[in-house]
Chain A
Amino acid sequence: MGMKIEDLTVTFKNRIRAVDHASLEIPGGIFGLLGENGAGKTTLMRVLTTVLAPSDGRVSLDGILYCQRNYEKIQRKIGYLPQEIDLYPGLTVQECLEYMGDLSGISGQTCRERIRYYLERTGLQEHRRKKIRQLSGGMKRRVALVQALLNEPEFLIVDEPTTGLDPEERIRIRNLLVDFSRGRTVLFSTHMVEDLAATCNRLAVMKKEKFLFAGTMKELSEQARGHVWSCRAADEAAARQLEKNYHVSLKQYAGDELQMKLISKTPPLVECRPCEPTPEDAYIYVTNR
């Protein structure tokens, strides 16, 4: 069970390349896709959900090749939460989910039971009678996620599901995705490193249309080991000088001084000591080396 991407390229009509000869294997479980804004994550997800056809390369899902005759078969296996979606503003949460559940072919009773379960899991049960237009951004995001889970797809593709959520909601959604990933494949795209560190065993890092890294979270941290340095700057001018020369992943006042964490392949030319890389440091290192 998994997805396989081989030498995938997506070029838009204005000749802008969004994915450039990317290859990746996504096994079962929860898989993270990390990258800066504009790295090509959403385009990749749109190919995987069959919204876009690739310009070149091969994609397969559970051994089924992405091609015209297989699209319907593939679409039945996928649940998708797009980055941006406006659900029906005039319907209540319950009505909207019942309508979308019906469209996806779930029978009435099963649909209602699943809605109740997922609304409870996402903390929306008490808001089920509210109209979509009356919900906050975070609530709308959670309703959109529930619609993606409703038909319990084998492959769930979620594009920045935690955007706009408060810390408690984020944890709740992360836990839900981890539970959901049992026996399924969940592709979780985000630019928030801590979300992936808390949920994924494996991840891929994208930058400028390409994969820079694919492996486990531990392997990602290993890549940065020996390249993260802790130092102190006497004043703001010294800190600015360091920022000019190195990637800084942490900067905070400690008394009169500034505590800083530098990412550098070679030891910085200031007094410093190596320190343990966090997933965020590792991400900065991998995307800037």
Chain B
Amino acid sequence: MRYETKIALPSYKIACALFFVVMLSLVRGVTYSYEIGIAMEAPMAILAAALCADTWTQEITGRRWEIQRLYPMKKRISSIYRRLLIQELFLSAIAAAGYGLFFLFQSPGTATEDGLGGEICQFSVYLAAVVVTLFFWGLLSNLLSCLFRNMWAGTGGSLLLWLLTNSSAGDRCLGVWNLFSYTFRSVEGGDFRWVYGKIACVCMGIMAASALPGIIKRCHAPRVSLLNKKRG
């Protein structure tokens, strides 16, 4: 796990992610604390997609994949899962820290009647929602990168879906099932129907995670040259 942390989280990635969150908490204005989640969820999804896109494709750019394919498949796959987990945990940690930075830089007002308890509850809900978001977008981006053997395909494909779902058209079409249902939620009256959108994220995330071994296997299969005859 120690080596995977160094591979999956080089210092430039850590620096970029921290810079991104600091800038977001400085630039994106909020008035009340419940707006912080709205301000953070969608940008954090993009950060997750960008950060996780090269989880495996760095093996292609580093030309190590030709060696990796000689290793047992189980070891290869578990290594990718570990790298993803490390990145997702890091992203979750900075998503939590980013919430605090909004308080630090902007001192938003509170709209809950329960004081500190209400704020902690609001933060916990935000954290749960954003963790699901981060896992989904990280997995999706890595999956697309592996599928096309190109990290830009992962980032680009994710950005496309991000643009479709993080829009009023996406909200209108998908409603509570939107991937960004937490961002588009109604903040009044304790409406928790946005959870459906997160359930959709979890389901698709699980599907992406289970599709990964098959895709890696396909990526590592001998590349068929022209006129290849069918072999047994």
CB pair B76 A55 closer than 8 Å: no
Q: Within 8 Å CB of B221, what residues of A?
A: 71
- Minimum CB distance partner of A102 in chain B: B75
Asked if A11 and B225 make an inter-chain contact with CB atoms under 8 angstroms apart, the answer reads: yes
B225: nearest chain-A partner, CB-CB: A55
Interface segment, A80-88, A184-192, A225-233, A247-255?
A80-88
CB neighbours of B150 from chain A (8 A): none
The reply to whether A90 and B7 contact each other, CB–CB distance below 8 Å, is yes
B75 and A105 contact, CB distance less than 8 A: yes
In the complex, are the beta carbons of B67 and A82 less than 8 A apart? yes
CB pair A51–B232 under 8 Å, yes or no, is: no
Of the candidates A53, A100, A103, the one whose C-beta lies within 8 Å of that of B223 is: A53
Q: CB-CB < 8 A to A50: which residues of B?
A: 69, 222
Q: A98: CB under 8 A from chain B?
A: yes
Query: Restricting to A66-105, which residues have a CB under 8 Å from any CB of B?
Result: 67-69, 71-72, 75-76, 78-80, 82, 84-88, 90-91, 95-96, 98-100, 102-105
Q: Which of chain A's residues has its CB closest to B5's CB?
A: A90
Shortest distance in angstroms between B16's beta carbon and chain A's nearest beta carbon?
Answer: 15
| Interface segment, one of B23-31, B43-51, B58-66, B136-144 | B58-66
Distance of A68 Cα from B217 Cα, bound (Å): 12
Report the bound CA distance from A46 to B71 in whole Å.
16
A12 on the interface (CB 8 Å rule)? yes
How close is B93's CB to chain A, nearest CB, in angstroms?
20
Contact call B72/A53, Cβ cutoff below 8 A: no
Give the interface size bracket for A toward B: 35 or more
Q: Are B69 and A69 in contact, CB atoms less than 8 angstroms apart?
A: no
Interface residues of B in 62-90 (CB under 8 A from A): 62-64, 66-73, 75-76, 79
Given contacts A75-B69, A84-B63, is CB(A90)–CB(B10) below 8 Å?
yes
Is A54 in contact with chain B by the CB < 8 A criterion?
yes
CB closest chain-A residue, reference B73: A72
Contact, CB under 8 Å: A103 / B75: yes
A205 to chain B, nearest CB (A): 23
The one of A49, A53, A90, A99 in contact with B70, judged by C-beta atoms closer than 8 angstroms, is: A49
How far apart sit A116 and B7, CA to CA, in the bound complex (Å)? 23
Give the residue of A55, A68, A82, A104 whose beta carbon is less than 8 angstroms from that of B63.
Answer: A82
B218 within 8 A of A: no
In chain A between 1 and 50, which residues have their CB closer than 8 angstroms to a CB of chain B? 9-13, 15, 46, 49-50
B232 and A69 contacting across the interface, CB-CB below 8 Å:
yes
- Contact between B70 and A12, CB atoms less than 8 A apart: no
8 A–B contacts, CB within 8 A, in A order: A13-B226, A49-B70, A50-B222, A51-B223, A56-B227, A75-B70, A82-B63, A82-B67
